[in-house]
Amino acid sequence: MAAPMEGAAADPRSEPDWPWAQAPLFSYSERDLIRSGVRWGGGSGSRFDAALRSAWEERMTAGCFRYRLPSSGLPSRRLPGPRRFVAQLNPQRATERRRPQEIRSLRQPFEPAGFNFTRIPAREVLFRLRREGEAEASALLVINVSPLEWGHVLLLPEPARGLPQLLTRESLLRALELLFLSSEPALRLGFNSLGAAASVNHLHLHAYYLGHRLELESAPSRPLLAQAGGRYLPVHRLSQPPGRGLLLYTDGSDLPRAALTLHALGGLLLRRSLAHNLFLCRGCPPGEPPGRPECRDGVRAVLWPRVSCFGRKEEAAFNVALCELAGHLPIKTPQDYSSLTEDTVLQTIDKYLLPEEEFSQLLSEITELLKD
C-alpha cells in the first residue's frame, strides 16, 4: 500500500511562494491502482476517495467555496427517453462562477498576468500528488470553488510550469491513474479544450463524484480498425446519440499506452484546429452489447471533436462541455429543469458536434494514424 497522507516537510527544491508549498502530500504506487471489484454500490471507497472527500468537505464547512451545495444533494431527475440523461438543478454555478477568460484560439499562449492557478489561496489546495519513483510532487488537487457536484476538484498536472490548456501525455496518464486510485464508479474526470468551454487557459482537468449511472458507461460502439497498430490501443466510434465521439478503453494494465493513444488523438485534433471535450469514467469493455453490464473494472475515455466557440456564447438551459456530452446536465433555471426533454438536449448538443461529413473525414485520418 502507499504511504499515508503526509504533512509537507521542508524541501529546499520547493518554491516558498507557491500556494501549495505547505499542502499535504498524497503518495501512491502501482499497488494502489484498483483494477477489479468496482461495482455500483459495491464498497465504501478507497484510501484516495476517503482523502479527497474528507479534505473537500472540510473546505465546504470552512466556507472556501462561492456557494454551498445542499447536504441532501442537488435536485436531480432522469429525462424520459433511451439516453436517460441526468438533469441537475444548479443555478448558482451559472450565476456565481468566475467570469471565463477571453479565449481567442485553440493554441492561445499562457498569460502569466491573467488569472491562473498559481494565484489561488492556499486554502483551496487539497494535496500534492506524488507517484512512487518521482523525486517530488508535481501535480495538485484543488477545489473548484464553483462546484458541479460534491467532490468537484481540479487536477493541475504541473501548475508551476505555466502550461496552456493543451493536453500533455503526462496529464493524461495522471488522470487515468486517479480513476484507478478510486474504487467508486461515481468518480468522473474530464477536460475542456480552449474553444470547447474551457474558462481558464492554464492546464487543468475536472474531477467530481456523480452518484448516478450514465448510459455512456456501457454505450455500444464499433471499432475503427479490426486491429490497431502496435503503438496504440484500439479506438471505437460511439454508435448511439449523442454520437460522433471516439471511445478508448483500458483495463489498467496499459496506462502509458492509453495516455499515448489519447495524446496522439488530441494532437491530430489540434493539427486540424478542432476543439474537443474528453470524459473519463469507469465503464464496461467496448462492444455491442456490453458483455457484463455491471462490470466497472476498466475505464472508458470518450473524446468528442467539436465546433470551436470563441467569445462568450452560452445556451439558455445548459452549456455544452464535457459533462453534458456524457449525459450529465447541470441546469441553470427551475423552469428548464422541469421542462427539458431528451429531444431538446440532443438538438442542442448536435449544434456543437462536427457535422457527419466532416467527422467521417476525420475518422479516415484517425484510422490511418492507428495503423502505425
What is the set of active-site residues?
204
Strand partners, 283: 298
**Sign (positive or negative) of CA dihedral 320, 185, 258, 359:** negative
What number of other Cβ atoms are within 10 A of residue 108's Cβ? 18
Strand partners, 202: none
**Sign (positive or negative) of CA dihedral 139, 143, 145, 148:** positive
Instruction: Give the position of cell 484507478.
Output: 180
Pairwise CA distance, residues 245 & 325, whole Å: 9
Residue 122: name the closest of 5, 24, 28 by CA.
24
Query: Strand order of the sheet with strand 76-78?
Result: 76-78, 86-89, 328-331
Q: Looking at 132-274, which runs of residues are DSSP E strands?
A: 139-143, 153-156, 187-192, 205-209, 221-223, 236-238, 246-250
